[in-house]
Chain A
Amino acid sequence: MKKVFIDGPISPEFISESIRKHQTKTDIGAHNIFLGQVRADVVNNKTVAAIDFTCYEAMANEILTDIREKAFKTFNLTCMHIYHSLGTVKAGEICFFVFVSAKHSSEVYEATQYLVDIVKKKVPLFGKEIFEDETHQWKTNK
Chain B
Amino acid sequence: MKDNVESYVTEDGRTIGGLLMEMKSITLRFGGVVAIKDISFDIREGEIRAIIGPNGAGKSSMLNVISGFYRPQEGEVWFRGKPRPSMKPYQVARQGIARTFQNIALFEGMTVLDNVMTGRLTHMKAGLASQALWRGAAEREETENREKVEKIIDFLEIQAIRKTPVGRLPYGLKKRVELARALAAEPMLLLLDEPMAGMNVEEKEDMSRFILDVNDEFGTTIALIEHDMGVVMDLSDRVVVMDYGRKIGDGTPDEVRGNQDVIDAYLGVSHD
Interaction A to B: no
B contacts, CB < 8 Å to A: none
